[in-house]
Amino acid sequence: MNRSMWAYAWDILDLGFDAALGELRDRAGLNCVSLASSYHAGRFLQPRSPKRKAYFPEDGTIYFHPTPARWDGLAIQPKVADVIAEGGDVLRELVRRRDQGGMKVSCWTVCLHNTRLGMLHPGAVTRNAFGDPNYYSLCPSNPDARAYVCALVEDMTHAYRPDIVELETPSFMGFAHEFHHEKDGVGLTAEDDFALSLCFCASCMARAKRAGVDAEAARRLIAEWIVETCERERPAPRFPEFPAGGADTFRPYPALYEFLLWRREPVTSLIAEIRARAHPSSRVVLIDFAGGWLNSCDLGQIGKVCDGAVLCVYGLAPEQGAAVIAMGRAALGADKFLSAGFRLFKDDVDGADGLTAQVRACVDAGADALNFYNYGLVPAPRLDWIRKAVSGL
């Protein structure tokens, strides 16, 4: 069973390879490390680091050295994070140690979530029904954005040969994002956020039109709903069953419903192209969650074009997590990779016993791999929780 923990390059550099990998293997009982190979900005409390207690990573950079020839002629180009340029190629060292009998290596790859690139290439970002840009989200319909993500995974897998590539956000994103100083005086409901997240950029409109979908009718309806949202006195849901009802919630609105069904195509086809261009020795899997349909992830279709998925069950009770994994196994089929993702934050799990119950329930429901979040963000004693949870599996 693949047992991995998500980790950042700066944590491994701060703690040292021997110490970090030794803890993951010997203290936590894991056999794989999932290194962030492409990542976004943030502010992270660093309880493990002997050098710092807060870290602000560069926005939208990569954590490996690209092969220039694979990027010739592409409009969107990657930037290597300074921590790698100055501290060394962490991914290369992890792969070297793996090849000498060490832990397996997975590349945790943030795909379209990239504010730095969105600011540099505003024509490639998602846009709401009023044409407003979401700079943090490149659009899966946009040819330049697609070319960037495909080149990213192709280059990484051919140059480094990781065991697994975990794709985060190869899809549309929500409106609420934890962007710097986000303001919402209206009080958006879940369905309001969804309406504002729907992309009607030029690439989506043209791609939908080629598929025979009336995206303009869908755009007009969504624009009307957003205006109504902004004019009401207090927040009020239009669809009380949202999001549990899924896309079927919108069946009474044929143009919108057809558009929502079509919206899965850019995501599925992008993942298919990524898989086709990745090195065949590297598994390519999607990082998803129970409500993935909101981002236009159709797990059943995606499972046909890649190698599986990591389904995050953060904060869920054991029986709820098991239901998510059972759904994933049914959608993917028996032969596909399926990992359950757990977060070790204080509000997500009740100690070692709580994590053990979550893990066992998900394994019993069909998970054949495990991922834990996140090595550098949690106190060292929580690694012991993992050891207890995975012992005997």
Over the chain (393 residues), the average pLDDT of each successive run of 10 is 98 97 98 97 94 95 98 98 96 98 98 97 98 97 98 98 98 83 84 96 98 98 96 90 94 98 98 98 96 95 98 97 98 97 96 98 98 97 98 91
**pLDDT at 187 (0 to 100):** 87
Topology, domain 2-172+264-390: TIM Barrel (3.20.20)
DSSP 211: T
CA 248 and chain centroid, separation: 24
Q: How far apart are CA 321 and CA 187, in angstroms?
A: 29
- List, as one string, the DSSP characters of 315-359: T--HHHHHHHHHHHHHHH-TTSEEEEEEE-STTT--HHHHHHHHH
- Any idea where the domains of the chain sit in the sequence? 2-172+264-390, 187-262
Query: What are the C-alpha distances in Å from 238 to residues 228, 234, 388?
Result: 10, 12, 45
Let me know: does 155 contact 71? Beta carbons within 8 Å: yes
